[in-house]
Structure 1
Amino acid sequence: MTAADEAASTRNLIARRNRLLGPAYRLFYEQPVQFVRGEGVWLYDAAGDRYLDAYNNVASVGHCHPHVVQAIARQAAALNTHTRYLHETVLDFAERLLATFPSEIGHVMFTCTGSEANDLALRVARTCTGGTGFIVTANAYHGVTSALTELSPSLGHPLQEGSHARLIPAPGSGDGTGEVFAQHVSDALDDMRYSGIRPAALLVDTIFSSDGVFADPPGFLRPAVEAARAAGALFIADEVQPGFGRCGSHMWGFARHGLVPDLVTMGKPMGNGHPVAGMAARPELLAEFGRRSRYFNTFGGNPVSAAAGIAVLDVIASEGLMENAQRTGAYLVELLSELQARHELIAEIRGAGLFVGVELRHGGAMGTPATTEAARIVNLLRERRVLISSAGPHGNVLKIRPPLVFGKEHADLLVDTLDQALAELSVAAE
C-alpha cells in the first residue's frame, strides 16, 4: 500500500465512522491511525508498520497475550452466562483478586467497566453514610455515567447550580503536599456543612492521572483521607488507572500511601482488553448495602470475564510484571532526567513504576504551561510511530503509561524518539 493509498483509506474510514457513529466520538492524533493487530508492546497498522505503545494500560500484560487469549477462548467455548447461576470461575477469580488486598477488604462485586464500578461505589457510599456530597479533584476523570460525569471535570462539564459535589485542587509536588491537600479536603467539607450537605465520600484516582500524574511523596494522601473519615465520609480509591501493579512497588496505588480504603474500584487493565471491572469493599459496607438495596449486572462477573481476569493475574505473577514496572519505570525516569538536562521545556518528571508524567512549561517549574508544544510532541511521536498522550488541566503533561511488559529497550526507543521530537520543536521555534 502506497502512502497515497493509505491516506485515502484513512479518509474513507473517518468519513464512514462519522456517518455511522456520529460526532460525539473522538479520535487520537492529527493524523488518525488504523490498527489491525497487536502483540506485546507493539500495535500494527494496515500497512504492516509497527508502533511502540507507550500509552495503553488496557492491554496491561501486553496486547493479545496468548495466556489471556487462550483463557477467553477456552471458557467461551464451554459456557458464558450471568452471576445468578452458580459457577466456580467467578469465585476463583474473587478469591485470587481479594488475596491482593488488605484483609479488611473482604468482598468484591463485578461490573463490565470502571464507570459502572465507580457508579456502584457512589450508590454504596450514599446508602451507608446517608450522605450525598462527594469530593473530587479539579481535573479528575471517574467515568461516563450521568452521576460520574458530574464528578469528572476533565470532561469539561461545569457543576450545576446546587450540586452536592465539591472540586478541590489536585495535590502539587514537593514538601507539604499532604498537608495542603488535606486542607483543601477540609475546606470542601466545611463548605458542605455550611450548605447543609452531608458528605458521602472522598473519591480519588490514587495517582491523579487526569490531573497530571502526582505520586510523591508516598503517604501524602493519608491526612486527606483522615479528614474525610473524621467528617463521616468514606474513602473510595479509584484504581482503574494506577492499579494491577502499574506503580511497581505495590499492587495498588493506595498501598503506596499506607491506606486501607473503604471501597476500591477497578477496570481498564483487569481483563487485558476484555471488559472486566469491579468494586471491592469492606464487608460491613456491603452488608448494609445488601440489606437496603439490590444490585445486578447482566455481564459483570460472567465466566468468560472471570477467566480473563484470572489469566491477567496469572501473567502479572508468573512474568514478574510488578517488578518489571518498578525496574523499567526507574530506568525510564533516569533517561527522562538526562533528557531534561538537554531540553529546558521539560519542567518536571513525576510518577511511579510504569506511570510517568512529563510536565512541559516555558521558564521552568513555575513557568507557563506549554500546552501547544505538548500537543505537537504527541503528534510528532505518532509520526515516528511511538504512542503517548497528554494530561493535566492545561494538557501540558506528557502521559506515559505503557503495557507492563515494556522493557528497557522500549524505554530507550521512547526517549530517543522524544529527544528527536523536542529537538525538532526547538528548531521550529527559532
Structure 2
Amino acid sequence: MTAATSATGLPRPNVPPEQAALWARELFGVEGPVRELGSQQDRNFLVESPAGRHLLKISNPAFARAEVQAQNAAMKHLAAAGLAVPAPVPSVHGEEIATVAVDGAGHCVRLLSFVDGTPLIENRYLPPPVVGDLGRLAGQVSAALAQLRHPGLDRGLQWDLRAGGDVVDSLLGCVREDRKRELVASAAARARAALEPLRAQLPVQAVHGDLTDDNVVCRPDGSGRPLATGIIDFGDTMYSWRVAELAVACTAVFHHEPDNPLAVLPLIEAFHRQVRLTEAELDALWPLIVLRGAVLVVSGEQQVAVDPGNGYAEAALAREWTIFETPAAYDWQAAAAGIRAALGLGGSRTTKPPAARSVLLPSLQQRKPAVLDFGWTSDSLTNGSWLGSPAEQAAEEARIVQAALASADAALARFGEARLTRSQTLSRTEPANLALALEVHLGVPSAVHAPFAGTITGTAPGLLMLEGADHTLFLAGISSTESLAPGAAVAAGRLLGTVTSALTVWLAAAGVRPAGSGEPPRFVRASEFPAFAALYQDPAPLLGAGVLPELPEEDAAAVLDRRNRSYAPLQGHYYAAPPRIERGWKEHLIDTQGRHYLDMVNNVTVLGHGHPAIAAAAERQWRMLNTNSRFHYGAVAELSERLLRTVPDSFDTVLLVNSGTEAVDLALRLAKAFTGREDVLCVQESYHGWSLAADAVSTSTSDNPRAEETRPAWVHVLDAPNSYRGTHRGAGAGEAYARDARAMLQSLADAGTPVGTYIAEPRNGNAGGIGLPPGYLPAVYDAVRRQGGVCISDEVQVGYGRQGFYFWGYQEHGVVPDIITVAKAMGNGHPLGAVITRRQIADALASQGSFFSSSGGSTLSSRIGAAVLEVLEAEGLQENAREVGSYLRAELEALADRQPLIGAVHGLGLYLGIEFVRDRSSLEAADTETAAICNRLRELGVIVQPTGDRQNVLKVKPPLCFTRDSARFFVDTLEEVLSNGW
C-alpha cells in the first residue's frame, strides 16, 4: 500500500500565502494578490495578476513527479477533445513542473491557467437537466481518456475504488462514532462482496477520478440555471475501473437531494449515451457508489484527525456522510432495477408472470370479491375524507373495507394503485402511496395455498417467504397451520396456512430480498415505482383468472399524446410535461398519482375544488330539469336578483352568458348600440377575451403576439397605467396617465371619431394584478362620459370578492361604471358569465333583435350561480380573501427584502402578482427565470404560472378558501426555490 493509502494521512504542505506569491513571481513570472483555495492534501492558491488568473498548485510530496506529469497529460488530452480544462503554464525556465523545498522535502509546483466559473457545488439544488449535464460531461471525459496512456497513471491512490475495500479497512478506526463505524463496515463489506465476482469483467482505463460538483465549474444559462463549462483538479487522475468515473460523479448528487436517491438517474442516462455501460458495469455501479461514499467518510475522518487546521476537510465531512448514508440506506436492488429501467434495459432483469399451478386463495373462486378503490377515481372518498393524520387515513381505509365487506365475502386492493389515503397536502415531496403489494380483506377465514412449488426461505413474525424457480412470494397476515421451517420444500397447491382478516401479498423476482429485515415496502413513491416494479410484480394472477381483472391505466404522457393528436394544440396546456390532474379539493389539485399540489392560479374555482354545496346543487338540478332561459322558472330570477344586490341601485338589468369572452363581446355591442359610436378606448397589456370584438380590445402580446398589427381602426390604446415600470412612475403617475387619456380622447373627438366605449379592468389582472394609480380611473371615467361615452368595468378576473376589501374592483376607485362584465368565479368552474347594466343600455340593442344564450341562464347555470353567491356569503370568503391575502402580501413583501430577484409585489386580497427582475434599477424582466421557477415550484408541490407581456410575473390567484397555512407553505417554498435554485 502506498503512502497515499496509508493510515498516517497526508497533511497539506506547509506553505503560507506569502511563500506562494514569491514562487509565482520567481518561478513563473506572475505577480499579484494571492488567495488560498481549498484542498484535502495539496496546497492551492489563486493568483490574480494583470495577465489573468492562475492557480499555483504545490503537490503533496507523497505524489511522484511522474504522477504530476500524468495529470498534465490528462489535461492536454481533454483540451484536445474540446473540453475546458486548466492548461500548464511553463516556468521562466521553460518547464511545466518546478521543484521547491518545503520543510526539507521536495515538492512539485505548477502554475495552471484558471478555468473561470462557479463550482457546481455552490448550487444547493441541481435540477434534472443539470444533473444530466454532469453525466454528459463525465461521459465525454471517460470517452476521451480511454485512449490516454502514461506511466504516471499507474498509481496507488486511496481513491482508486479497485482498492476501496482495503482503504475502508485501514481507515475504519478513524471513524469516532460506534454506530457510524459499524454502518460503514457493513456497507463496505456488502459492496466488496458484490464487486468481487465482477472485477475481471470491469474495463480499466484512465479516469479523472474526482469528477464531482466540487471540480466542475459552471456559469448560469439564460434561466439562471448552472451550465457546466469546465473541469478542474486533476490530482486524482489514474488508471481505474471505467465505471468508477460514473460512480464518483453520481455521489455528487446525493447531498443536493438526500431524500431522493434516484435523482442520479439523469446523470447515469447521460453518461450511458456517451459510454455504453456493460452488464457487469451496471451490476457494479450501486455498490461502487456506496463504496466511494465509504472511502470519502473514512478518509475525511482521518484527514480531520491528522490535519486539524484543515477547514476545507472539516466543512466537507458532514456533506460526505450524507453522500455515503443516502445510497447506503436505500434499497440496492431497487436502485439497480431503477437504473436499468431508466436505460431501457429493464427487460433483461424481469421475469414473466408466474404460471400458477394452483391458486393462492381457492375460496375466492366461488365468490365475487369487491374491488376497493382508494385512488383518484374513488366515489367512497369525498369532501377531503382521505386527508388527516396517518391514523385518520388508516381509519378511512378501514371504513371503506368494512363497507365493502358488508355486501361481499372479500375485498381486494390493487397492486400499483396510487392511494389518496396515503397522500397529504402542503408537502414538497411526493407521497409514498403507490401500492407494491396486493391486499385481500376477508369477512370469513380462508385457506392459503402455495401457487407454485418452492422452498420456504423465511418465516419472520407475521411473514412467510416462498421462493420458487422464478419468483419469491411474500405473505403477511397468514397464520401457519403446519410447521413450515426455513428450507422446507413446498409443492404447488400445498396448504400454507389460514388468513382470518387480511392478507398482504408481494410477488418478487427470484432472489429479491427486502432491504434490511422483515417485509418488503408496502408503498413507494411514484418516481420510485418503475424501479420497484422491476422487482415486484402484480400478484393478481395468483388469485386465478378473472378474480381481479386488469384495470388499464394510461400514464400522463400517453394521455397527453392523445390530447395533442385530437385536441387542437392551439388551446395549449401548462408545463412541457404536465402532471395529469383529475381531482381537486379546496385549494389543492390532485394528479393521478395522488400528489396534491397547492393551486395558486385557479381564480375560476373561487370557492375551491369539489365544493359539496355546488356539487349537490348541480346534481339536484340536473335530476329535475335543465333547459334554456326562454322557459319560465325561478332560478334565473333568483340569480339576477342576487347579482343586482351586489351593485349600486343604478344597475337594474342582468344578461346571462357562458363566459367572460361572451360577456365582454356583449358589453361592447350594448355600448355601441347605446352610444351609436364604434370607437373604443382600451388599455395596453390587457386581455378581455378571444371573440372578434373581445380580441380586438385585448392588447396583451403574451396572449396575442400580433395584437398591434391586427388591431382594427376603431380600437384606440392607452399606455398601461403602471406606476412601477410604465411611462409615468411613482407619485403623480395617476394624474399623468389621466392627462394622456384626456389628450387622446380630445384628439379622437377632433378627428371626428369620438370614443363611445372605454373598457378596462379596475386592476390590470393579466399584467400581474397591477393596481391603477390613485386618481386615474375617476378622471378617465369623467373624461369619457363628458364626451358621451360609456365605461365598462371588466371584472371577470378581479371581481367577486377576490380583492377582499371590495366585492367589485371598481369600488376601490370610488367610481361606478355603466356596464360590468363578470364570469369565471360566477360558476365556480361551471361556464357562466354576466353583463350587469342599466335597462336603457340593454334596451338599445332591442332594435337589432333579441339576445339569447342557450346555457348562460339555463336552470342549471342559474342554480349553480345562485349557490356560489350563497356559499361566498355563508363561508365569509371575501373576508378570508382580505385577511389571508393581506397576510400573504405582507409575507411576500418581507421575502422581497431578502430576495433581490423580486422587484415588486402587486395586487390586493387574493389577486397578487410577484414580479421578477434581474436588476431593480433597470427593471430588466427575468422572464426565463420565471418560467424555470414555475417548473421548480411544481416539483415542490405548487402550481403557479407566469403572466404579463414580459412573462416575468407570478400570478397568484388561488381559490378564496385559501388558508394561512397554505399561504405560509407557498411563501416558504418560493423562498426555498429563490435561495437554493431552480
Q: TM-score range by the shorter chain?
A: over 0.9
User: Does structure 1 residue 351 correspond to structure 2 residue 901?
Assistant: no
Q: Distance in 1 between matches of 2:842 and 2:821?
A: 14
Secondary structure of 2:845 counterpart: helix
In structure 2, the partner of 1:409 is 965
Distance 1:80 1:172, change over 3 A: same
In structure 1, the partner of 2:527 is 3
What is the Cα deviation at residue 415 of structure 1? 0.4
Distance 1:161 1:217, change over 3 A: closer
Which residue of 278, 283, 289 maps to 2:839? 283
Distance 1:56 1:312, change over 3 A: same
Which residue of 845, 849, 873 maps to 1:317? 873
Secondary structure of 2:791 counterpart: strand
1:129-144 paired onto structure 2 within 5 Å: 129-144=675-690
Gaps of 5+ in 2: 1-415, 417-525, 531-552, 724-729
In structure 2, the partner of 1:165 is 715
User: Does structure 1 residue 239 correspond to structure 2 residue 788?
Assistant: no
Q: Distance in 2 between matches of 1:161 and 1:115?
A: 17
What is the Cα deviation at residue 82 of structure 1? 0.9
Which residue of 678, 681, 693 maps to 1:147? 693
Secondary structure of 2:628 counterpart: coil
Secondary structure of 1:356 counterpart: strand
Which residue of 75, 78, 96 maps to 2:624? 78
> Is the CA contact (8 Å cut-off) linking 1:348 and 1:365 kept in structure 2?
no
Which residue of 544, 562, 567 maps to 1:21? 567
User: Does structure 1 residue 118 correspond to structure 2 residue 664?
Assistant: yes
In structure 2, the partner of 1:49 is 595
Who wins on radius of gyration, i.e. which is larger? Answer: 2
What is the Cα deviation at residue 196 of structure 1? 3.3
Distance 1:162 1:71, change over 3 A: closer
> Is the CA contact (8 Å cut-off) linking 1:135 and 1:185 kept in structure 2?
no
Q: Distance in 2 between matches of 1:87 and 1:383?
A: 48
Q: Distance in 1 between matches of 2:950 and 2:687?
A: 15
In structure 2, the partner of 1:103 is 649
In structure 1, the partner of 2:860 is 304
What is the Cα deviation at residue 133 of structure 1? 1.1
In structure 2, the partner of 1:187 is 743
> Is the CA contact (8 Å cut-off) linking 2:734 and 2:772 kept in structure 1?
no
> Is the CA contact (8 Å cut-off) linking 1:206 and 1:238 kept in structure 2?
yes
Gaps of 5+ in 1: none
Poorly superposed stretches of 4+, deviation over 4 Å: 4-8, 216-219
Q: Distance in 2 between matches of 1:222 and 1:275?
A: 32
What is the Cα deviation at residue 191 of structure 1? 4.2
What is the Cα deviation at residue 161 of structure 1? 6.8
In structure 2, the partner of 1:340 is 896
Partner AA of 2:742 in structure 1: S
Secondary structure of 2:898 counterpart: coil
Q: Distance in 2 between matches of 1:167 and 1:53?
A: 33
1:197-208 paired onto structure 2 within 5 Å: 197-208=753-764
Question: TM-score scaled to structure 2, two decimals?
Answer: 0.42
Distance 1:365 1:231, change over 3 A: farther
Partner AA of 1:228 in structure 2: V
In structure 1, the partner of 2:424 is none
Q: Distance in 1 between matches of 2:742 and 2:680?
A: 13
What is the Cα deviation at residue 194 of structure 1? 5.0
Partner AA of 1:16 in structure 2: R
> Is the CA contact (8 Å cut-off) linking 1:178 and 1:224 kept in structure 2?
no
What is the Cα deviation at residue 213 of structure 1? 1.7
> Is the CA contact (8 Å cut-off) linking 2:696 and 2:711 kept in structure 1?
no
Q: Distance in 2 between matches of 1:185 and 1:240?
A: 23
What is the Cα deviation at residue 212 of structure 1? 2.7
Secondary structure of 1:28 counterpart: coil
> Is the CA contact (8 Å cut-off) linking 1:212 and 1:393 kept in structure 2?
no
Distance 1:157 1:190, change over 3 A: farther
In structure 1, the partner of 2:373 is none
Q: Distance in 1 between matches of 2:922 and 2:772?
A: 18
Q: With a CA cutoff of 8 Å and minimum separation of 6, indicate the structure with the bigger relative contact order.
A: 1
What is the Cα deviation at residue 368 of structure 1? 1.0
Q: Distance in 2 between matches of 1:378 and 1:187?
A: 41
Distance 1:71 1:292, change over 3 A: same
What is the Cα deviation at residue 363 of structure 1? 1.9
What is the Cα deviation at residue 291 of structure 1? 4.6
> Is the CA contact (8 Å cut-off) linking 2:930 and 2:946 kept in structure 1?
yes
Q: Distance in 1 between matches of 2:577 and 2:683?
A: 32
> Is the CA contact (8 Å cut-off) linking 1:185 and 1:228 kept in structure 2?
no
What is the Cα deviation at residue 27 of structure 1? 1.1
Secondary structure of 2:571 counterpart: coil
Distance 1:128 1:293, change over 3 A: farther
Q: Distance in 2 between matches of 1:219 and 1:257?
A: 7
| Percent of pairs with identical residues | 35
Q: Distance in 1 between matches of 2:773 and 2:887?
A: 19
Q: Distance in 2 between matches of 1:200 and 1:348?
A: 35
> Is the CA contact (8 Å cut-off) linking 2:896 and 2:903 kept in structure 1?
yes
1:368-379 paired onto structure 2 within 5 Å: 368-379=924-935
Question: TM-score scaled to structure 1, two decimals?
Answer: 0.95
Which residue of 36, 44, 49 maps to 2:582? 36
Partner AA of 1:386 in structure 2: V
Partner AA of 1:93 in structure 2: L
Q: Distance in 2 between matches of 1:239 and 1:306?
A: 19
Size of the aligned set, in residue pairs, is: 426
Q: Distance in 2 between matches of 1:386 and 1:367?
A: 26
Secondary structure of 2:764 counterpart: coil
In structure 2, the partner of 1:254 is 810
What is the Cα deviation at residue 383 of structure 1? 1.3
